[in-house]
Amino acid sequence: MLKFCLTLLFIFLILCSACDNNNDEQLPGIASREDSEDFFDKSHEILLDTWNYGKSLYYEPSAFLSVYDSLYRHPEGRTLSNKHQPYINPFTNYFLSRGNYQVKNQHVESRFVLGNLMNTAFFNNRFSPANTFRPFGRLSVRQPLLDACLTASGDAGICAPGSVCSLFGGRPSGSCSLGKTCCINAINTCGATVTLNNTYWQSPSVAVNAPTICALNIKLDNKFVEQLGKPICQIRLDFVSFTIAQPTAGTCTDTFQVGGATTVAPIICGDNSGQHMYLDVPSSDVTSTDVQLMFNFATGTATPSSRSWNIKIALLPCGADYLAPVDCLQYFTAPTGRVSSFNWRDVPVSAIRQLNNQNYNICFRTELIDRQTGTQMCFSVCATTNAGAGYSITTNEAIPGNSLLGVGNNAQGYCTYDYLGIGSATDLATGLMGDRFCGEKLNTARAPGFNSSIQLCTKSKPFKVNFVTDGTEAAVVAPALVMVPADTNNVGFCLDYQERAN
């Protein structure tokens, strides 16, 4: 009988050892069992291949370069060694004064506390290094709820167990690997807090009357269970739909603004469906950050369709190769495409659609074109089909159909206050070059009055354009730097771009 018992015990120990060995094979980065103790202490640092979802969700697959521009391929400030400076949130009091935020914040914290307690007290049991039997070791590896998925209808979500999707108020739609569901998380209230990747913030189903404020808080903290994959360094906002009141003389009455990010995003309004923004934030592995998205609606009633939005909020990890470069509010990653200023639309020109107080960079990633390095970026004004203007920056009735160039090339100096900056932009036919452009036509004419737009190309890298407007569309008079007459029905710009390798 004793022999039989000893035999069973021996078989049991062999099976346990085999299970433990099998577990070790599934844990990347563990060189030995002695190292596994440190691994469990730092399980939140596991790097998952699924983080590369940005390549499929944000741009078409394309061979990009690592040979020329380290700023645009591996931008600084994307690793844990480069820490952003703290930013004072202008909207903190708004959220702290709302009970709804307090409740949601406590709910997030309680999820973290429970998960950490279970991990450290039970699953991550403290056996000595000499004891290689860890029956619950694998259960301590908690994959983050940041793994992205895409439904058949094109909605972005996160891969999560069905019960977890329900816990966060998500909507199962499609399936992921390992029995998980593609969870679509949508919020249509004001004053809520977001901690999940790929969350949609949608306008309430009833009309948003005014005056009122409708805001959302994005809370980033690497201690949260749903953000334990990698620290977050950037947020991307995709305006799936965006319609609020048009500006008055270029100044927004209804406004959308961002607080808490290190990126200074301009205040925008009007029609912005299809636009996007990249927002730099301090690494969530270094400090907890609150980023606020806020609509401020002016006095007046409105229908649900006239004040409506659907904004996808993506949390982007530090070190990802699809992050936007530093100081780029917008980032385009295809060799050809279309870019426009906020609130530009192909509609009949009847009022000023160009927004005041804009100052931001639009950047373009360098691509391989026919297996050759892209060497120049070319821009041409979009063709319009609805009596709209594809390009109109600082225009006036005195010189209809004019094209204007930067200060020094014309007496009026129109491009001092509102302009589109394209470094070393050249007309390939004439060889004429300019850096600032305004007027109703895009070209390098040396004097006002040239009445057609031409394609301009630049070889200045990294490829980017800068859009700047001042705070008024009225005449600029003394004691201003340069006096210019009042503007008339500016719309901003829409440009088709093409990267070339010759």
Domains and CATH numbers, the chain: 92-317 (2.60.120.290), 360-500 (no CATH)
CA 60 vs CA 50, 149, 317: distances in Å? 17, 16, 20
* Residue position matching structure tokens 């980023």: 291
**pLDDT beyond 80 at 130:** no
CB-based contact 296:255 (threshold 8 Å): yes
Q: Give the pLDDT of residue 11.
A: 62
Average pLDDT of the chain, as a whole number: 74
Please write the tens of the pLDDT for every residue from 346-374. 998 888 999 999 999 999 999 888 888 88
**pLDDT beyond 60 at 427:** yes
Amino acid at site 41: D
For 495, half-sphere exposure in the C-beta direction (CA atoms, 13 angstrom radius) is 31
Q: Give the pLDDT of residue 207.
A: 78
Question: 113 versus 91: which is more confidently predicted?
Answer: 91
Q: For residue 107, give the nearest of 115, 44, 419 by alpha carbon.
A: 115
Query: Looking at 140-144, 167-171, 264-268, 396-400, which range is the least confident one?
Result: 140-144
- DSSP bridge pairs for 464: 363
Question: 379 versus 133: which is more confidently predicted?
Answer: 379
CB-based contact 236:277 (threshold 8 Å): yes
**pLDDT beyond 50 at 139:** no
Q: Give the pLDDT of residue 440.
A: 85
The DSSP element (H or E) to which 29 belongs, if any, is none
Which 3 state secondary structure label does DSSP give 296? Answer: strand
Cβ contacts of 361 within 8 Å, gap of 6 or more? 327, 328, 329, 330, 464, 465, 466
Structural tokens at position 460: 């200045």
Rg of the chain, C-alpha, whole Å: 27
Instruction: Give percent above pLDDT 90 in the chain.
Output: 40
Please write the tens of the pLDDT for every residue from 442-491. 888 765 557 788 999 999 999 999 999 999 999 888 777 777 888 888 99
* Residue position matching structure tokens 């159909």: 401
458: left (phi over 0), alpha (psi -120 to 50) or beta: beta
CB-based contact 314:198 (threshold 8 Å): yes
Please write the tens of the pLDDT for every residue from 234-252. 999 999 999 999 999 999 9
Long-range contacts of 122-126 (CB under 8 A, 24+ apart): 124/40, 124/41, 124/43
Cβ contacts of 60 within 8 Å, gap of 6 or more? 334
Which 3 state secondary structure label does DSSP give 178? Answer: helix
Cβ contacts of 396 within 8 Å, gap of 6 or more? 402, 484, 485, 486, 487, 488
Q: What number is the average pLDDT over the span 46-62?
A: 35
Q: For residue 311, give the nearest of 257, 362, 356, 357 by alpha carbon.
A: 257
Cβ contacts of 289 within 8 Å, gap of 6 or more? 87, 219, 220, 221, 260, 281, 282
Helices (H), 42-82: 54-57, 70-73
Q: Give the pLDDT of residue 90.
A: 47
216-253: buried (b, 16+ CB within 10 Å) or exposed (e) per residue?
bbbbbbbbbbbbbbbbbbbbbbbbbebbbbbbeebbbb
Q: Give the pLDDT of residue 75.
A: 34
Q: Give the pLDDT of residue 12.
A: 58
Please write the tens of the pLDDT for every residue from 309-337. 999 999 999 999 999 999 999 999 999 99
Question: 407 versus 62: which is more confidently predicted?
Answer: 407
Q: What number is the average pLDDT over the span 260-274?
A: 97
Helices (H), 69-197: 70-73, 92-96, 99-118, 162-167
